[in-house]
Amino acid sequence: MFRVNPRFLVVFSGHLLPLSVCRMSRLLSFKSVFTHFVLAVSVFCAGVALNAQARSPALDQGAEDKQSSVALADLPPQGRATHDKIMHGGPFPYEKDGSVFGNRERQLPVAKRGYYREYTVKTPGSRDRGAKRIVCGGKPETPDTCFYTDDHYASFRKIVP
């Protein structure tokens, strides 16, 4: 007759292991799973909190509050000409005119990607596109709002009629 000492437990493949080892391995396994679960929940909660903070209306409001405005009549002549071309659908002199503006620095009110488009304002004497731009939000054919920058996106002023 086969007798098993109570201090031992028969496990897979007929091997005998001390009961204390089996209990310890189950405890370590549980601790490992529990630790990973707590870590995963913490990372998830931190991501949700950062995402909610990034989309909060306070951020959107802050971007609008930072904006000053400029009358269309006060733009340089090249700016008024560019604005007129935007309102009439072109033609635009630069290939990049009408391309999507990402607003990565969040200088403008937060909107979905593709909402803003940028247009070059000619800079007299400049060999390249220069630093002046008009960025408009909304449909390219009928923008909701436009902003003017003369310092290559470092600051913007909302264009008002």
Q: What angle do CA 82, 116, 70 make, to 5 degrees?
A: 50
* Residues with catalytic roles: 118, 152
Residue range 96-106, pLDDT digits in tens:
999 999 999 89
60 domain residue, yes or no: no
CA distance 97 to 158: 19
- Identity of residue 46: A
Give the global pTM: 0.59
Q: Which two tokens stand for residue 134?
A: 């008009």
Residues 50 and 79 both lie in one domain: no
Residues 43 and 75 both lie in one domain: no
Residue range 40-98, pLDDT digits in tens:
667 676 665 555 444 434 334 444 445 699 999 999 999 999 999 999 998 999 999 99
pLDDT at 147: 97
Which domain range does residue 88 map to?
67-160
Residues 156 and 86 both lie in one domain: yes
Residues 96 and 34 both lie in one domain: no
Residues 49 and 71 both lie in one domain: no
Q: Which two tokens stand for residue 80?
A: 């008024």
